Amino acid sequence: DLRFGYPAGGLRDAWATELKALLEADAAIAQAVVDISWRIHSHKVQGELTPIPGVKNVLAVASGKGGVGKSTTTANVALALAAEGAKVGILDADIYGPSIPRMMGLSGRPDIEGEAILPKVSHGVQTMSIGYLIEEDTPMVWRGPMVTQALQQLLNETRWDDLDYLVIDLPPGTGDIQLTLSQRVPVSGALIVTTPQDIALLDARKGLKMFEKVGVPVLGIVENMSTHVCSNCGHEEPIFGTGGGEQMAADYGVDLLGQIPLDIQIRMQADGGIPTVAAAPESNLAEAYLSVARQAAARLSRQARSKKLQFPNIKILDT
């Protein structure tokens, strides 16, 4: 019996078969029965913050720069974690430019139950976004305090249903929303999305340093648009350069979780409301996202666990 601290549904049968063969290669073992399962714990967050009700772990996905495919990566990593066997949600924290409703094929206002907002569900993933509350072409002409208040309401007033991971799609930059997240939202770990291009790496480094300063562990870097794949001949070309993600990972002592190609199928599937992991789960592209999700979850499982949910607050009153 083996129990992991992260979901691994896609590899469980292969691992069990391999381990069974290894055990039975020992002449002293006539027959081996292997059972693999997992239990996802709540992990330590920054400062004295406590986990959100109904959410074990918050994972922040940041880029520092727009246009590097952060929202597409968020959607596919969330779907990959769900495919591996976890209960997953997505919070679209990009108040000015919400993308998750379109990518997850959702629209319309969420249901209200009492004072709680019920998340909208797509492909087995719970989601919440300001995009459900406004028209798609309505600009959010809000100052910083209004934006941060909206983020906190979406996060805390949504009735998340027993999530193992809540993946937050952050807007680009290191401004009000990122500051609110680092100070008021209990984050277990962060993923940094970048392209190999030097200009993107400059801003990605700022995002990574921000998480370091506030005590949020960076689980790793995802290099998106690593190579361009021609849809006609399949030729791959590194149009944004090579080695940028690897160098950044080496410079800061973090892991390069994966390199995702620039492929037209990823764009078409996200625009169509069925991201790659759901649209083509057996494809090489989906496997790249699954690998990123597994590695991020595995690295989080090695972090210290949160004690906040294990011990109640005990008050002694002199009555």
At 205-226, the pLDDT tens digits run 888 888 888 889 999 999 999 9
List Cβ neighbours of 310 (8 Å cut-off, separation of 6 or more): none
Classify residue 197 as exposed, middle or buried by CB count within 10 Å of its CB (0-12, 13-18, 19+): middle
Q: How confident is the model at residue 312 (pLDDT cuts 50, 70, 90)?
A: low
| DSSP secondary structure letter of residue 42 | P
Report the pLDDT value the prediction gives residue 192, as an integer from 0 to 100. Answer: 94
Report the pLDDT value the prediction gives residue 151, as an integer from 0 to 100. Answer: 87
Q: How far apart are CA 84 and CA 103, in angstroms?
A: 20
| DSSP secondary structure letter of residue 197 | S
Element containing residue 144 per DSSP (H, E): helix 144-156
Q: What is the b/e burial string over 135-166, where b = at least 16 CB atoms within 10 angstroms of the residue's CB?
A: eeeeeeeeeeeebbebbeebbeebbbeebbbb
Give the residue-averaged pLDDT of 234-240: 85
| DSSP secondary structure letter of residue 35 | -
Q: How far apart are CA 49 and CA 71, in angstroms?
A: 26
Global model pTM greater than 0.75: yes
Asked whether 90 and 126 are in contact (CB, 8 A), the reply is yes
Asked whether 55 and 87 are in contact (CB, 8 A), the reply is no
Asked whether 51 and 42 are in contact (CB, 8 A), the reply is yes
Give the residue-averaged pLDDT of 86-94: 95
SS (H, E, C) 223-292: ECCCCEECCCCCCEECCCCCCHHHHHHHHHCCCEEEECCECHHHHHHHHCCCCHHHHCCCCHHHHHHHHH
Nearest CA among 73, 62, 15 for reference residue 189: 62
Q: How many CB atoms lie within 10 A of CB 254?
A: 20
Report the pLDDT value the prediction gives residue 319, as an integer from 0 to 100. Answer: 60
Q: pLDDT digit string (tens) for 31-76?
A: 999 999 999 999 999 888 888 899 999 999 998 778 899 999 999 9
Report the pLDDT value the prediction gives residue 189, as an integer from 0 to 100. Answer: 95
Element containing residue 38 per DSSP (H, E): strand 36-38
| DSSP secondary structure letter of residue 39 | -
How many Å separate Cα 274 from the centre of its chain?
17
Q: How confident is the model at residue 141 (pLDDT cuts 50, 70, 90)?
A: confident
Q: How far apart are CA 130 and CA 132, in angstroms?
A: 5
Supply the mean pLDDT for the chain: 90
Indicate whether 305 pLDDT > 70.
yes
Q: pLDDT digit string (tens) for 246-302?
A: 899 999 999 999 999 999 999 999 999 999 999 999 999 999 999 999 999 999 999
